[in-house]
């Protein structure tokens, strides 16, 4: 049996790092104790204890407990389990169905569960590393309690490491312990697996052994998942708040986790117009130049190019007036539809069109009559935009 399975806690008191859910007289603790659990969606990072929590429920419940893996499961198999649950209910027994990685079930598969959850034929426990707002259908969420598990901190990982060391009877130096904890990145399973692999090489784990085995730090960064968007958001907000240190950090995190440098460069191009705009029009040239430079030389050399662009954008004056201008204009388009183009700004390539008043000089209004006084662009006093604005006032 893998070491991670051997160390899996069998009671809530042994579950590490989730005191907000299982501490004291929590609802979850009382529900498990009284076997009155309602459907749950367990949301949290890998190795935080979602599957362990489900197994603890299995150890303490009098209900039938069925485990389904969403990667291997099919609708046919799922329907078979649901039919079993119906028969159990007819005999006065409850059934808990635990679906690991429920986010991998498509909408049709999740829809199959809905009537059984709704009628109380089953208690559903779904575990997911992806935000359920985007990966679990709304009707299931509304009929379940969503419990968020925390990434394990250093204290929690040390407790788990101590249990693992005791189990395999190893000696681990202080330096090696720190390396293991850092490499785990909050994931208990990674930590235990690393230790198990190293235990096959020696009975004393030290820094030299870890370095010799080309120990690789695993960064949590799923290009299609929530963490991807969290880090992209962190990069944007760091640049927006003119914090070059944080911006470079988040950019480096993306690169080191395997992100395409051209994707990062595209985000910088968008940022240069959306958040800096006319306050420093040169920012757009810096961002597009960074994109082309990254395209030409690629990794690893392009990292300094991206860092230069990120720092420049962070230090640039900020203005969202361009972004607001296009949003304001689109708001009127949505409100008023296809308003006629004023005659004075229409194209007049023929004599007849000129006679009809096309390209007339009678008025200087460039907007349709209904919205001729509307304003969309409101310049700020920042950077070049401010100088242009103030120059216009003086004139």
pLDDT in tens, the chain (395 residues): 899 999 999 888 899 999 888 887 888 888 888 888 899 999 988 899 999 999 998 888 888 899 998 888 788 888 999 999 988 888 888 899 999 999 989 898 899 999 999 988 999 999 998 889 888 999 999 999 999 999 899 999 999 999 999 999 999 999 999 989 988 888 999 999 999 988 888 889 998 888 888 665 555 556 666 778 889 999 999 999 999 999 999 999 999 887 889 999 999 999 999 999 999 999 999 999 999 999 888 888 899 999 999 999 999 999 999 999 999 999 999 999 888 888 888 888 887 777 777 777 777 788 888 998 999 999 888 888 888 777 655 54
Residue 127's contacts (CB-CB under 8 Å, 6 or more residues apart) are 42, 50, 51, 54, 98, 99, 100, 101, 102
Pick the CATH number of 3-148 from 3.30.1240.10, 3.40.50.300, 3.30.1220.10, 3.30.1130.10: 3.40.50.300
- Beta strand residue intervals within the chain, DSSP E: 40-43, 64-69, 95-100, 123-128, 145-148, 171-172, 204-205
Residue 251's contacts (CB-CB under 8 Å, 6 or more residues apart) are 235, 264, 306, 307, 310
Of 56, 18, 222, whose CA–CA distance to 131 is shortest? Answer: 222
- Beta strand residue intervals within 345-386, DSSP E: none
Rounded Cα–Cα distance for residues 75 and 84 (Å) = 14
Instruction: Put residue 215 in one of left, alpha, beta given phi > 0 → left and psi -120 to 50 → alpha.
Output: beta
Q: What global pTM score does this model have?
A: 0.66
Rounded Cα–Cα distance for residues 32 and 26 (Å) = 10
Instruction: Give how far Cα 302 sits from Cα of 21, 246, 293, 295, Å.
Output: 44, 19, 7, 9
Pick the CATH number of 154-212 from 1.10.10.60, 1.10.8.60, 2.102.10.10, 3.30.420.40: 1.10.8.60
**Tell me, what's the pLDDT at 395?**
47
Rounded Cα–Cα distance for residues 316 and 279 (Å) = 8
Percent helix, strand, coil in the chain (nearest 5)? 60, 10, 35
Peptide bond into 300 cis (omega under 30): yes
Residue 367's contacts (CB-CB under 8 Å, 6 or more residues apart) are 342, 374
**Tell me, what's the pLDDT at 388?**
79
Residue 19's contacts (CB-CB under 8 Å, 6 or more residues apart) are none
| Residue 187 DSSP label | -
- Report yes or no: 61 and 96 within 8 Å, Cβ to Cβ: yes
**Tell me, what's the pLDDT at 293?**
94
**Tell me, what's the pLDDT at 361?**
73
Of 95, 68, 40, 122, whose CA–CA distance to 113 is shortest? Answer: 122
Which CATH code is given to the segment(s) 226-315?
A: 1.20.272.10
Cβ-based burial of 395 (10 A; exposed 0-12, middle 13-18, buried ≥19): exposed
Task: Output the CA torsion sign for 364, 366, 368, 374.
Answer: negative
Residue 181's contacts (CB-CB under 8 Å, 6 or more residues apart) are 154, 157, 158, 161, 191
Task: Give me the residue spans of the domains in the chain.
Answer: 3-148, 154-212, 226-315, 339-378
Cβ-based burial of 312 (10 A; exposed 0-12, middle 13-18, buried ≥19): buried
- Report yes or no: 372 and 365 within 8 Å, Cβ to Cβ: yes
């Amino acid at each position: 049996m893998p070491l991670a399975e051997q160390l899996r806690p069998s009671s809530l008191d042994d579950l590490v790092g989730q005191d907000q859910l299982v501490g004291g007289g929590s609802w979850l603790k009382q529900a498990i104790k009284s076997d009155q659990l309602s459907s749950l969606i367990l949301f949290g990072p890998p190795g935080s204890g979602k599957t362990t929590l489900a197994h603890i429920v299995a150890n303490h419940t009098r209900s039938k407990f069925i485990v389904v893996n969403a990667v291997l499961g099919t609708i046919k198999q799922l329907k078979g389990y649901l039919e079993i649950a119906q028969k159990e209910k007819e005999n006065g027994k409850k059934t808990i169905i635990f679906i690991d990685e429920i986010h991998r079930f498509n909408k049709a598969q999740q829809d199959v569960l809905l009537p059984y959850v709704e009628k109380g034929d089953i208690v559903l426990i779904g575990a997911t590393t992806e935000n359920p707002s985007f990966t679990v259908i709304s009707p299931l969420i509304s009929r379940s309690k969503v419990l968020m598990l925390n990434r394990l901190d250093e204290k929690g990982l040390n407790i788990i490491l101590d249990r693992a060391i005791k189990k395999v009877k190893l000696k681990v130096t202080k330096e090696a312990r720190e390396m293991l904890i850092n490499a785990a990145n909050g994931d208990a399973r990674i930590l235990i697996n690393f230790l198990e692999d190293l235990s096959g090489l020696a009975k004393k784990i030290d820094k030299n052994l870890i370095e010799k085995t080309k120990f690789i730090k695993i960064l949590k960064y799923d290009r299609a998942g929530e963490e991807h968007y969290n880090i992209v958001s962190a990069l944007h907000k760091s640049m927006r708040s003119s914090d070059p240190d944080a911006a470079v950090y988040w950019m480096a995190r993306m690169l080191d986790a395997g992100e395409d440098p051209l994707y990062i460069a595209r985000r910088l191009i968008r940022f240069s117009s959306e958040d800096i705009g006319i306050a420093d029009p040169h920012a757009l040239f810096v961002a597009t130049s960074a994109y082309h430079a990254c395209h030409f030389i690629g990794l690893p050399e392009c990292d300094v190019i991206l860092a230069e662009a990120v720092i420049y954008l962070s230090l640039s004056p900020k203005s969202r007036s361009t972004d607001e201008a296009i949003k304001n204009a689109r708001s009127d388009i949505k409100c008023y539809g296809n308003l006629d183009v004023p005659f004075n700004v229409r194209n007049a390539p023929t004599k007849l069109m000129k006679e009809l008043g096309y390209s007339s000089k009678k008025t200087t209004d460039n907007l349709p009559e209904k919205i001729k006084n509307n304003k969309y662009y409101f310049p700020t006093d920042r950077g070049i935009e401010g100088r242009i604005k103030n120059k216009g006032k003086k004139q």
